[in-house]
């Protein structure tokens, strides 16, 4: 929807300065003055100011005032326009810029860029916004690329690029200086591992017993010990490029071909100790396998009765029986950080899982749930198909709008209002968005077709699935089991005890209601009416039954 003839009266301003990564020199004071002068010139009534300082233009997600502004616009129909200094102040992401304009359109609000002299109330202004948005994104990529190149060059010169690392501190010149107290702990870690043959957990447990803390004032864990032992900074090297696109991938983007340069800082560990450590790390790599998850369906849901941490899987071999194990859940803090932080607090996995399944089964096999579910599955144009149909209609309208935008862009090119490169960038963006929409349309159409096929389902089969929930659950895949339980259970607390037999489940806290399933009240009755607090439960069970029916 384009606001061609709307009179602009009440407006708000939005200003943003970039993070320290960027240097755009657009001060808040300068932006505010320019926008106020524009308001005076056009007799606009400035009714609100929204300021985000030191916020990146990469995304709008983490901008407090920007999101507050959008929320205020939703609740205030008197706002006619949002004024910004330049398009790049909204975002340096073209997708974010487009989404913002579409959202403002929905509430009949224009976007005006004072410096660019652009108003989205007309198609030409909107086209120019998209083109400038493309350039803003390219500019952002250039800024990031330049910054990364500068950091890479610093690392090649053996200089530190900033940030915190245990054992060192960075001075005003970003030079690393040894912190003596922390350096002693680093040396101790390497010595215990390479010379005393201590394992990661034993080292972590020892450091915790000595009340040594990490940089974040936390307890030492298996992972934090590994990170120390693997960091070449402690033998005087600077590592660059270990992770690719860290902000998006975190540690998933690990790069084995990173750059390693002799640094300008003093080492804490000698070369012989480092080489010995790395050789042992390689030998021990497969000696301590990852925690076995397997069919432990309550992993992460059970909470330790002492520290509240999540419980994870634990197996012990049965005597004289090959490949047979006793199954338990244990405290993750104990496993990762040792006995100085918490105890194992083992709980029998078979007993815990049976109890949870029995209580969930008790909830869902009532006549109300069964009858409601049968009615839902047998109803054409159900509440699940209706929103999908609306979304499908909206996506098809978006496709039409993209086609119109393409035609308008080519029209502007014929009038020589934009150059070929800008046109090409804009058309490429529109084509990319078009392909995304087409893919989403295909997925939704498949979902609608699948849901429509669930008409006239045998009610006896559905009744059998729910009344024999435990048997149905057992026959499902591990992924299906975990998905269902984690979607309806928030957490499970455990009673304290001196042995696994004494530790029993105390409460099962559900996502969808404030009332807990208490272990002490076995005969507790639940109101399972679909239209009340159990709508969430109903939806999850409904999806689970669909999966079972398909398989």
Domains in the chain with CATH codes: 10-147 (3.40.50.1390), 168-284 (3.90.1750.20), 302-353 (no CATH), 368-550 (no CATH)
- Say whether pLDDT at 220 is over 60: yes
Mean confidence (pLDDT) of the chain: 76
d(C-alpha 535, C-alpha 543), whole Å:
12
Instruction: Please give the torsion angle defined by the CA atoms of residues 150, 153, 155 and 156, in that order, rounded to the nearest 10 degrees.
Output: 180
What element of type H or E holds 323? none
pLDDT attached to residue 49: 94
pLDDT tens digits, 253-270: 465 666 778 888 899 999
pTM above 0.85, yes or no: no
Q: Which of 79-88, 103-112, 293-302, 517-526 comes out lowest in average pLDDT? A: 517-526
- Where does residue 109 rank: exposed (0-12), middle (13-18), buried (19+ CB within 10 A)? buried
**In DSSP terms, which residues pair with 10 in a beta bridge?**
45, 79
> Which is more confidently placed, 41 or 476?
41
Q: List b or e across 480-493, with b for residues whose CB sees 16 or more CB atoms inside 10 angstroms.
A: bbbbbbbbbbebbb
pLDDT attached to residue 400: 85
pLDDT tens digits, 310-332: 888 888 888 877 778 889 999 98
User: What mean pLDDT do residues 22-40 have?
Assistant: 81
What's the N-to-C CA distance of the chain in angstroms?
44
pLDDT tens digits, 379-422: 544 555 666 777 788 888 888 888 888 887 777 766 776 677 77
Q: List b or e across 291-308, with b for residues whose CB sees 16 or more CB atoms inside 10 angstroms.
A: beeeebbbbbbbbbbeee
d(C-alpha 50, C-alpha 55), whole Å:
13
Per-residue confidence at 528, pLDDT binned at 50, 70, 90? very low
């Amino acid at each position: 929807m384009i606001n061609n003839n709307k009179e602009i009266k009440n407006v708000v301003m939005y200003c943003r300065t970039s993070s320290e990564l960027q240097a755009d020199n657009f001060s808040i004071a300068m932006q505010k003055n320019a926008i106020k002068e524009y308001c005076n010139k056009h007799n606009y009534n400035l009714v609100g100011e929204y300021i985000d300082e030191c916020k990146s233009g990469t995304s709008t997600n983490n901008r407090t005032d920007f999101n507050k502004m959008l929320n205020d616009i939703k609740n205030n129909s008197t706002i006619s326009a949002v004024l910004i200094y330049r398009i790049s102040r909204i975002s340096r992401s073209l997708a974010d810029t487009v989404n913002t304009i579409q959202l403002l359109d929905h509430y009949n609000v224009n976007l005006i860029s004072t410096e660019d002299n652009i108003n989205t109330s007309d198609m030409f202004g909107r086209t120019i916004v998209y083109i400038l948005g493309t350039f803003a994104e390219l500019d952002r990529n250039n800024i990031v690329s330049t910054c990364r190149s500068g950091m890479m060059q610093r690392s090649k010169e053996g200089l530190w690029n900033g940030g915190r690392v245990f054992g060192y501190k960075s001075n005003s010149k970003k030079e690393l200086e040894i912190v003596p107290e922390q350096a002693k702990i680093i040396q101790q870690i390497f010595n215990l591992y390479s010379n005393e043959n201590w394992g990661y957990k034993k080292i972590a447990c020892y450091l915790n017993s000595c009340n040594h803390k990490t940089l974040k004032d936390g307890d030492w864990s298996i992972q934090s010990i590994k990170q120390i032992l693997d960091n070449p900074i402690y033998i005087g090297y600077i590592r660059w490029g270990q992770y690719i696109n860290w902000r998006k991938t975190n540690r998933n983007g690990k790069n084995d071909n990173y750059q390693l340069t002799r640094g300008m800082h003093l080492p804490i560990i000698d070369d012989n100790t480092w080489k010995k450590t790395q050789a042992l790390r390689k030998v021990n790599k497969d000696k301590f396998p990852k925690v076995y998850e397997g069919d432990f369906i309550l992993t992460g849901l059970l909470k330790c009765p002492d520290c509240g941490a999540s419980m994870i899987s634990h197996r012990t071999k049965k005597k004289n029986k090959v490949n047979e194990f006793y199954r338990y859940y244990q405290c993750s803090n104990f496993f990762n950080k040792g006995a100085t932080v918490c105890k194992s607090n083992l709980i029998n996995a078979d007993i815990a899982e049976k109890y949870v399944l029995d209580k969930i089964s008790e909830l869902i096999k009532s006549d109300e749930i069964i009858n409601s579910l049968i009615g839902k599955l047998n109803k054409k144009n159900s509440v699940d198909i209706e929103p999908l149909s609306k979304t499908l209609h909206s996506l098809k309208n978006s496709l039409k709008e993209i086609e119109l935008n393409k035609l308008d862009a080519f029209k502007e090119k014929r009038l020589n209002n934009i150059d070929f490169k800008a046109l090409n960038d804009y058309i490429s963006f529109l084509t990319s968005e078009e392909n995304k929409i087409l893919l989403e349309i295909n997925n939704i159409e498949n979902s609608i077709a699948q849901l429509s096929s669930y008409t006239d389902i045998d009610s006896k089969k559905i009744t059998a699935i729910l009344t024999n929930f435990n048997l149905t659950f057992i026959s499902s895949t591990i992924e299906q089991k975990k998905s269902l339980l984690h979607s309806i259970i928030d957490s499970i607390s455990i009673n304290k005890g001196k042995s696994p037999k004494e530790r029993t489940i105390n409460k099962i806290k559900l996502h969808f209601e404030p009332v807990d399933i208490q272990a002490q009240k076995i005969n507790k009755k639940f109101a399972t009416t679909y239209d009340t607090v159990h709508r969430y439960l109903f939806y999850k069970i409904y999806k689970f039954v669909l999966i079972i029916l398909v398989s």
